[in-house]
Amino acid sequence: MAKIMTAGPVQVRENVRIARSKVTTNPDVDPAFAEDYKALCDKLEKIMNCSGRAYIMDGEGILGLEAACASLTEPGDRVLVMDNGIFGRGFDGFVSMYGGEPVMYTKDYHEPFDPDELRAYLEKDHDFKYATLVHCDTPSGMLNEIDKLCPILAEYGIMSVVDSVSAMFGEPVDFDGSYIDILCGGSQKCLSAPPGLTMVWVSDKAMDVMCNRKTPIASFYANITAFKTYYEDKWFPYTMPISDIMGLAAAVDNYLAEPDVLQRHARIAAATRAAVNEAGLEMYVNSGYSNTVTVINVPDGLIDRQILDTMIEDYGIMITGAFDVLAGKVIRIGHMGENANYEDMVETIAALQGTLSKLGFRLKANMVDVFNREMGR
């Protein structure tokens, strides 16, 4: 089996796997489960500095994005869809699906959003119920400054829905300090649990808006308000995936046990970018580099599948290409969560170097030497 150095799912630590295999109770009727669930949500609220509430829902990270739009959107609502990447653009489908009117704020896919440009735009038009924004757009590796953008939205009375699925736990997030209203995450990225769970953090304002709609939420499974009184009622809207949640709890404890986890991601990412740049490869984005994923343009004369297949067949390491408008144009290395360590990353860098050399691309520098230098090795 190839080592997965992808931008999620990532490698899973043994104690997380063990936690998922433990004997379980019936989460529908055992009040102890509600206590355990709340204790885990309390930890998530503290980690993200959220004075609202956090909830864990049964479904991959995309469920959180759809649930945010389903729960907020009423027919005719104007929603600002901030688009500088594939996932950013993708919010328009969720908004439309639930009767809203998506207004696209489309910018260069190679650059992060400029706060001053956003402010200038909103000065002319700010009649939006909420805005959607991606923290790290995984296909391109674009990182947007949510701590600067969301407060601007809040100044104009616009709620914010932030997709931080592939950034949180590897990049800093301050929910209250950034004036975020709904924050979405997933289990399989930097937190390094298996895929299957989405987490949402909800401000008091957002919950109030969702609970006081003029029209009912047009979804059962993607209804965030269904979780509002779970603890008081000791009741959940559906049978919760208890084994997955036990694994998530272990992954959260792993995160809390490492005070410098964000610095680890930053060091690994900087060393990776240095190796890529000095070797003569090109990053897809011009700025706004994520510390969780590095996205590299496929060199002229090569095909993405040549690189990906050689990495697996010759070195046993799996990285990925992309899709949609980036299909065939880039390769992606995920250095998030359990993947963001020296041993796995230097092996990945060496494999990429060997692959490119085998395929006839002449590197301008030894990528392993550069990576080691930047890591102080």
Q: In this predicted model, what pLDDT tens digit does every residue of 75-119 receive, in sequence order?
A: 999 999 999 999 999 999 999 999 999 999 999 999 999 999 999
Average pLDDT, integer, range 232-258 = 97
Helix (H), strand (E) counts: the chain: 13, 13
The structure's pTM equals: 0.97
Average pLDDT, integer, range 5-10 = 97
Query: pLDDT tens digits, residue range 319-373?
Result: 999 999 999 999 999 999 999 999 999 999 999 999 999 999 999 999 999 999 9
Mean pLDDT of the chain: 98
Query: pLDDT tens digits, residue range 44-65?
Result: 999 999 999 999 999 999 999 9
Query: pLDDT tens digits, residue range 151-171?
Result: 999 999 999 999 999 999 999
Listed in sequence order, the DSSP H helices in 241-332 are 242-256, 261-278, 304-315
Q: Residue 266: what pLDDT?
A: 98
Between CA 136 and CA 291 the distance in angstroms is 9
Between CA 262 and CA 337 the distance in angstroms is 10
Q: Would you give the distance in Å from CA 237 to the centre of its chain?
A: 25
Query: pLDDT tens digits, residue range 174-183?
Result: 999 999 999 9
Cβ pair 182, 50 in contact under 8 A: no
Cβ pair 63, 222 in contact under 8 A: yes
Q: pLDDT tier at 1 (50, 70, 90 boundaries)?
A: confident
Query: pLDDT tens digits, residue range 207-221?
Result: 999 999 999 999 999
